């Protein structure tokens, strides 16, 4: 009897197991054990896990926090929709709002400075992905996700929604700028 042909009896569990089947069962068992032990290992020692904080917040309250940031630190406006670009001081709390179908505002951060990035949604579930660096997590309405970030490379980064949020999901794109600061600590444009 082989694994290809069914047993001739109805009592299949009394049939001997073929050597090839034993090998594949053994390979599958070993792989399952490897994965079982690596999951907690990478959870503790891996750098890919979200290590921030999450708080309950109403969409209205989070929107107020974002508007306070925009009023205080806007340096210019971009795009045809006049989205504000904010340049908050180094080490401050910064806010990014997800809503159908855009990110608000555009952030301009200083290289080498640590910020507390607060992200929330006012309508649907979205996904925040900052490319090409590995920041990727879900943004839920009613929750304020807080993450400490320290930009290390000057440049323009893409802010992308990676959780399907409706018909214009593909257009939910924004930017994040990282600029060099001069010797006085002032950001250079």
User: Nearest to residue 188, comparing CAs of 83, 78, 111, 91?
Assistant: 111
**Continuous segment of H or E residues that includes residue 40:** helix 19-45
Q: For 112-162, what is each residue's pLDDT tens digit?
A: 999 999 999 999 899 998 888 777 888 999 999 998 888 889 999 999 998
> In the chain, what are the domain boundaries?
12-45, 53-179
Region 93-109 average pLDDT: 92
Q: Is the pLDDT of residue 166 over 90?
A: no
- The whole-number pLDDT of residue 181 equals 76
- C-alpha 68/C-alpha 92 separation (Å) is 13
Q: Which of 75, 45, 50 has the alpha carbon at shortest distance from 149?
A: 50
Closest CA to 125 of 181, 164, 79: 164
Tens digit of each residue's pLDDT (9 = 90 or more) over 49-85? 566 788 999 999 999 999 999 999 999 998 888 999 9
pLDDT at 6: 67
> What is the CATH number assigned to the segment(s) 53-179?
2.60.40.420
Q: Choose among 183, 186, 174: nearest CA to 81.
A: 174
Q: What is the per-residue pLDDT for 108?
A: 94
| Element at 65 (helix H, strand E) | helix 59-73
**pLDDT at residue 18 is higher than 80:** yes
Residues 5/21, Cβ–Cβ less than 8 Å: no
For residue 121, the Cα-to-chain-centroid distance in whole angstroms is: 13
Residue 1 clears pLDDT 80, i.e. is over it = no
Tens of pLDDT, residue by residue over 152-165, are: 899 999 999 988 98
pTM of the entire predicted model: 0.71
pLDDT of res. 40: 84
Is 70 exceeded by the pLDDT of residue 2?
no
Dihedrals phi, psi of 183, to nearest 5 degrees: -65, -25
With the CA atoms of 63, 49, 155 and 188 taken in that order, what torsion angle do they form, in degrees rounded to the nearest 10?
Answer: 60
Q: Is the C-alpha dihedral spanning 79, 84, 89, 91 positive or negative?
A: negative
Sign of CA dihedral 50, 51, 55, 59: negative
pLDDT at 47: 62
């Amino acid at each position: 009897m082989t694994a290809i042909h069914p047993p001739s009896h109805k009592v299949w569990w009394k049939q001997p197991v073929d050597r090839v089947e034993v090998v594949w069962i053994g390979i599958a068992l070993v792989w399952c054990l490897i994965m079982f032990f690596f999951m907690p290992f990478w959870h503790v020692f891996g750098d890919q896990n979200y290590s921030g904080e999450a708080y309950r917040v109403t969409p209205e309250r989070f929107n107020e926090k974002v508007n306070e940031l925009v009023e205080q630190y806007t340096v210019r406006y971009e795009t045809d929709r006049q989205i504000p670009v904010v340049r908050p001081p180094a080490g401050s709390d910064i806010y990014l709002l997800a809503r159908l179908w855009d990110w608000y505002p555009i952030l301009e951060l200083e290289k080498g400075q640590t910020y507390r990035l607060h992200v929330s949604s006012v309508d649907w579930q979205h996904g925040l992905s900052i490319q090409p660096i590995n920041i990727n997590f879900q943004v839920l309405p009613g929750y304020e996700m807080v993450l400490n970030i320290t930009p290390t490379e000057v440049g323009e980064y893409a802010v992308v929604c990676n959780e399907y949020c409706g018909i214009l999901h593909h257009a939910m794109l924004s930017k994040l700028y990282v600029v060099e600061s001069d010797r006085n600590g002032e950001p250079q444009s």
